[in-house]
Chains A and B, each alone.
Chain A
Amino acid sequence: MILNDLRKALRQNIRDYTMYFLLFVIMAVFTAMTRGLFMSSRNIANLMNQTGYIAVLAVGMTLVIVIRHIDLSVGYLAGFIGAATAIAMTRWGMPGWATIPFALLLGAAAGLVTGFLVARLGIPAFVATLAGWLIYRGLLLMVTMKTGTIIIPDAFFNAIGNGYIPDVFPSESAFLPGLHKLTLLIGLAAIALFSASQIRARKSKQGYGFEVLPLPVFAIKLAFMAFVIGYITWIFAGYNGMSWTAVIVIVVVVVFHFVTTKTVLGRHVYAVGGNPEAAELSGISVKKITFIVFAAMGSLAGLAGVLYASRLQSATTKAGEMFEMDAITAAYIGGVSAGGGVGRIAGSLVGAIVYMSLTSGMNLLSVDISLQYIVRGVVLAAAVIFDVQTRKRRG
């Protein structure tokens, strides 16, 4: 009975679960091959910090692909904005905290330019952003030309990509020694919040007399998610705790997940992606949505630029190289569809984690870079093939 319900619930969300399954397999395989090194707190913390900028870009790229466009310019845009913040700090004396709003605004402005080219002038996004790719690459080279790599001395700024949230209790205290207590608290709070919201949603559905997951299945799902969140925080807590990068990524994902799934704006984005003509006739301005999506993408590129520069504690001439391809790959592994109108933020986050886990694991095993590219390509193709097949079967 329970098994049957469980199977039904699994079948209905096969694509989501497969991605988690894929992540699980990748992690298990690498853990076994590295004798536990892969799942060590230290490696996972590093992995998350490396994933940060790709995850942030993949979130934006998901929206862009959902509305049937593409943005090739974001890699070098991120690199350029990273360099711009470095210059702002070193030459103009901008305080470290101000770089984030600065980067977001600069990125949004760049995104609006792309939006103008695509929505107003009707230039295909591929071409418009290819031009952007060239231009931002040139700009990046131009501003870093004289100095070469710009070293960033600002401690606040560098903490964004390398620092961890402070702990409330000293870690030598007798209570849970060696663990990061604030991180554990956040984890517990997240579990509580998640469970409460799920229970509330279920109750409200029942109030309307709608079908809900049977209680045992619901309980299993809750317990499983609680376990996953708990386990992740446990691993984090075992090293330095939660990193600032992780905090930023979580905030971005939560905000974008909320906007895309719960708001009118989100609905409009998916409607434009699903059928622009029908959306327009339904009173949705396709142009406006295009502007908004590219501006959001630009902002996220700015944020990614900050994350990357902060991680390296410097701005380099090569920053941003291939980021757009990594972001596109992560989004496709995460289940976005090129046909438009399909793709989820949470999926792209998992896609980014899958992708970076592969990279990290293969690096730990010192797999040759040539083979790494091939493996990544195969995983991308497999994910998309699986996607197309499951979608076809369900009609």
Chain B
Amino acid sequence: MENVRTMSDHILEMRGISKSFPGVKALSDVTFSVRRGEIHCLVGENGAGKSTLMKVLSGVYPHGDFQGDIALDGEVRRFRHIADSEKAGIAIIYQELALVPEMSVYENLFLGHEIRKGSLVDWNATIHQSVALMKRVRLVADPSTKVKDLGVGKQQLVEIAKALSRNVRLLILDEPTAALNEDDCDNLLEILRELKAEGVTSIMISHKLKEVIRIADTVTVLRDGRTICTLDARKGEVSEPVLIKHMVGREIDNVFPPRSKKPGDEVVLEVEGWNAWDRALGRQVLKDVSFKVRRGEIVGFAGLMGSGRTELARSLFGNPDGYRVEGAVRVESTAADFRSPADAIGAGMAYASEDRKRNGLVLIQDVKQNVTLANLRAISKGGVVDSNAEVKVAEDYRKALNIKTPSIDQKVVNLSGGNQQKVSVAKWLFVKPKVLVLDEPTRGIDVGAKYEIYTIMNKLVEEGMSIVMISSELPEVLGMSDRVYVVSAGRVAGELPVAEATQERVMELATS
């Protein structure tokens, strides 16, 4: 009798799950149980196997592609496609969103299971139900807005609404807040709580431990493809140091490593009166931006999502978007007029983009080819690439950044999200620039790896490089920068020495 009751207590039980890829054992004998109606967080280092476990659950890797059992409500299930798991009430929202940008919100919400009248789509009913769904996730927008015109935060809500439209019982979110600002994060967590009250069970993967602690009823930690432990928050077992210790296998005392050297006085990059217009939208995206970066300095750019920081970086970095630009840029006091990213790189600039999949990496190429892509000249003679030198370089960066991959010949598409990010950073480190612009460098990166990246940043500036760090994680901006610029609606709303920069002060400027 006892046995039956505990079984029905759990909406999901995964037992003895193992899954291998060529050269990688992604999961070995993982046990993972989720109680009905709880919010269960899944944490672990980059490459620990979190996404893989969820893909096993949702049928992306069909039954037979892995070992072990999946039981829903105590009943063993075998999913052959994602459609099977959807039918069973499971919905998964991936690390990278799966919406059609050119379609409206309501078209996206019912994509694949349209409401029909006969053989035609019943658009009126669709819109009617969309409005109700949007209200449930507190998404304030016109249902006919194109998805591409919404911010990331709202797009995330569309994904959740889409899951709800399919009568989801078990909602899986893979790093839903990685690309969200704090307000959107808060909103999302609040919605998860409301869904919980309605009886929806959620599994959330996240590297942001603070929010894990805020929201989780239970936390499971994975490390190297194994279950390390499952902690019960209601029994007070969950705290940041405890999570970190289980995730990394050791303790990390201070989140931001100390730096021994002060920045110099020499200005390396100076931007004055920088304006940019988006020709296609006929809109000014940057207004009279001026800033300076000194040698050996880390300059943080804080601001809300969509405040124009990425546009600023890209327009300075050879302007690949073809904005109409105006203003003065000086690199080491020499006036610069970059017509292309190649020009900017030639002058000693580097820009590691925020969206690694779309414009950071060549996913179908291997790790070494990605690492050397922006600086092939350094490992070639007379236009011929020295492949041995290339392997050497890539090996060095793999070790330095602790990139988890079976070999540097692995295609980047097969790496976990965080390790892809490290490859993207490695690529720009190899350019050995004077000014390195890092746009959201730690998005989707685990605590241990963050610490590694911070340590590398410190080492680079101590060696005389200058770093511009664009980040939506305020603690990181405040913890790493020497000076902070706050960007709001395409203009610099203020400049703060780090000693005067507090969360409140920055947020005040960011929303001004």
Contact = CB atoms under 8 A, between A and B. Distances in A.
Interface in A271-320: 271, 274-275, 277-285
Contacts, number: 91
A395 B383 contact: no
Interface stretch (A71-79, A148-156, A203-211): A203-211
A281 B320 contact: yes
A204 B388 CA distance: 8
Contact of B384 (A262, A275, A283): A262
Contacts of B112: none
A341 B391 contact: no
A142 to B, nearest CB: 40
A270 interface: yes
A279 B427 CA distance: 12
A267 B364 contact: no
B342 A278 contact: no
B362 A395 contact: no
Contact of B365 (A204, A207, A208, A270): A270
A286 to B, nearest CB: 10
A282 B427 contact: yes
B341 A341 contact: no
A113 interface: no
Interface in B326-383: 340-342, 344-346, 351, 353, 358-365, 369, 373-374, 376-377, 380, 383
B373 A282 contact: yes
Contacts of B342: 283-285
A267 B376 contact: yes
A254 to B, nearest CB: 14
Given A270-B365, A274-B362, A279-B362, A205 B388 contact: yes
Given A208-B392, A264-B376, A281-B351, A394 B362 contact: no
A4 interface: no
Interface in B19-47: 21-22
Contacts of A207: 388
- For the side of the interface on A, what is the size category? 20 to 34
Contacts of A283: 340-342, 344-346, 374
Given A267-B369, A284-B342, A342 B364 contact: yes
Contacts of A262: 384-385, 387
A366 interface: no
A213 to B, nearest CB: 14
Given A262-B384, A267-B369, A267-B385, A285 B340 contact: yes
Do most interface residues of chain A lie in helix, strand or loop, or is the interface mixed? helix
B360 A281 contact: yes
Contacts of A341: 362, 364-365
Nearest to A391: B364
Contact of A394 (B22, B344, B384): B22
Nearest to B379: A264
B365 A271 contact: yes
B25 to A, nearest CB: 15
B101 to A, nearest CB: 15
B22 A282 contact: no
B279 to A, nearest CB: 14
A297 B411 CA distance: 29
B414 interface: yes
A207 B365 CA distance: 25
B365 A277 contact: no
Contact of B377 (A205, A210, A264, A275): A264
Contact of B353 (A204, A274, A281, A395): A281
A262 B380 CA distance: 9
Contacts of A285: 340, 342
Given A205-B388, A263-B384, A283-B374, A274 B365 contact: yes
Contacts of B346: 283
B427 A274 contact: no
Nearest to B314: A281
Contact of B359 (A208, A265, A267, A275): A275
A283 B364 CA distance: 19
B401 to A, nearest CB: 18
A341 B411 CA distance: 13
A264 B345 contact: no
Nearest to B392: A208
A395 B392 contact: no
B374 A275 contact: no
A342 B346 CA distance: 28
Nearest to B388: A208
Contact of B385 (A205, A264, A282, A339): A264
Interface string A172-216: 000000000000000000000000000000001101101000000
A278 B359 CA distance: 4
A13 to B, nearest CB: 12
Contact of B364 (A210, A263, A274, A277): A274
A284 B342 CA distance: 6
Contacts of B380: 263-264
Q: Which of B341, B358, B364 has the most CB of A within 10 A?
A: B364
Contacts of A263: 380, 383-385
A44 B432 CA distance: 54
Given A277-B358, A278-B362, A395-B413, A271 B373 contact: yes
Given A265-B383, A270-B362, A278-B359, 5 more contacts: A204-B388, A282-B345, A282-B374, A341-B364, A395-B21
23 contacts: A208-B388, A210-B388, A210-B391, A262-B385, A263-B384, A264-B376, A264-B384, A267-B373, A267-B376, A271-B365, A274-B362, A274-B363, A275-B359, A275-B363, A278-B358, A278-B360, A278-B373, A281-B341, A281-B360, A282-B427, A283-B342, A283-B374, A284-B373
